[in-house]
Homo-oligomer: A and B are copies of this chain.
Amino acid sequence: MKAVQQYLADHEERLLKKLETFLSLESISTDPEKTPEMEKAVRFLTDYLEEIGFTTVERRETGGHPLVYAEYKAPEPAQTALFYGHYDVQPADPYELWDSAPFDPEVRGGRLYARGASDDKGQVFMHLAVFEAMMQTEGRLPCSVKLLIEGEEEIGSKHLYPFLENNKELLEADFCLISDSGMVETGTPTIMYGLKGFTGLEVTLHGPDRDLHSGLYGGAVKNPAMAMAQLLAGMKNEDEVVTVEGFYEDVEALEDDERRLMNEAPGEDYPVSTGIPETAPEKGYTAQEHTMARPTLEVNGLFSGYQGEGTKTIIPSKATAKLTCRLVPGQDPAVIQDLLVSHIEQHTPAGVRADVRREALSAKAYKVNPDHPLIKKAAASYTEAFEKETVFVRLGGSIPVVETIDRLFGMPVVLMGFGTPEDNLHSPNESFPVSHFTKGMHALAHFYKQM
């Protein structure tokens, strides 16, 4: 163990440079123009895995962006870990809000700034570096490892799910390990024992067949932008309660014990970390409770009419909103999507026509027993490396693959994430603390060693 740590310490600078090379690749899965960059990211991974000594290293075609599959077989019988991660990242726009270019990684104030530094290329890389260190110092890994790194996580993992379903034997393992989440605060080890589910849709309200002169047609034609405002405003009341009929029907009640746990976990000071004047949780819940354990409905994008400088006196021909929900245990994403669609059908104002595009991606929420032996080992490894008690929380975000692996394979999923609330995931200036890179690798080495 000492040798592994020493190796990681001796090679820290080189490993950081190697990670920066990985982060400099613009692997934005939603942008078709970035396909060549996605290819470079795949090549980076397969080259590194071969270098480390993985016996099987494969680029697997999926019909979309390829995924990387690799295997290492331990010399004597041992547990098998299935590692999952993703090499694709969110778009980086608006570029002008980044202090350094999103694909030109830069260390400032103890943090590594780059799109994907935290979500998820940085965290994937930590595992590979630990594997390298173990192979170089001990000539082997302590357990068998199957590695699955996809390129479509940020666009819904459309091709991952059939791959999982069609390769059950290939992917069989004793447990699954994922590092694609964060800690409640810098330095405090955190086990995520629950994740939210997800569903979404895009709705366009169509009015006139072209933008119209607001003077000649104002008063005759329903304004689609106003119609959209009315439709959206009708989906939530002023208490931040979603008013879509049936939305809360299957939500598992939140027990007092769990509410207490959630409020005791170190919380984020939202006005400080995000600049908002005040938090706005659902009435009857704290912001912490709402983000961890209550479903949400968010407008992710909204657009209609003229957006340029100055005034353009038009009635826009249409208005579009992108909506997503984060779901909690009990809620079925397909049912919730149906409820949203019927709500839209029933509440579209007269004078416009609604056109709904259902988001293909959806996932149920996930919860694991925090007393599972593997979870306990993960917590102990965290505490060893970070020298602090591990806390147990539920995440407001979604990792749909977790629910799928649970459902298809029935194996426990261990979420060892190393991100922090200051990482600016999906935002400009995404970053990751360099110290978590070091300590996180230590924790991972400790965890693998116990298998």
Residues on A close to B: CB < 8 A? 30-31, 90-91, 93, 97, 155-156, 182, 196, 198, 200, 207-223, 225-226, 228-234, 236, 238, 240, 268, 270, 274-282, 285, 287-288, 290-291, 294, 296, 298-316, 319-322, 324, 326, 349-353, 359, 361, 395-398, 421, 424-429
Contacts and interface: CB of A to CB of B under 8 A. Distances in A.
Contacts of A300: 214, 225, 305-306, 311-316
A215 B155 contact: no
A304 B300 CA distance: 8
Contacts of A240: 219, 222
Given A298-B315, A311-B361, A426-B314, A215 B398 contact: yes
Given A220-B268, A225-B299, A299-B316, 15 more contacts: A30-B312, A91-B306, A156-B311, A210-B424, A212-B427, A213-B426, A218-B396, A220-B291, A222-B278, A229-B229, A229-B233, A230-B232, A233-B233, A238-B349, A301-B307
8 contacts: A91-B306, A93-B308, A212-B274, A214-B296, A217-B274, A225-B301, A230-B233, A301-B305
Contacts of A324: 214, 311, 313
A219 B294 contact: yes
Given A322-B306, A426-B313, A298 B232 contact: no
Contacts of A304: 299, 301-303
Nearest to A94: B211
Contacts of A298: 214, 218, 223, 226, 313, 315
A118 to B, nearest CB: 10
B290 A220 contact: yes
B210 A280 contact: no
Contacts of A421: 216
A196 B208 contact: no
**Among A226, A233, A326: residue with most chain B CB under 10 A:** A226
Contacts of A220: 268, 270, 279-281, 287-288, 290-291
A132 to B, nearest CB: 30
B274 A311 contact: no
**Among A281, A311, A349: residue with most chain B CB under 10 A:** A311
B311 A155 contact: yes
Contacts of A311: 30, 155-156, 200, 300, 322, 324, 359, 361
Contacts of A395: 215-216
B221 A232 contact: no
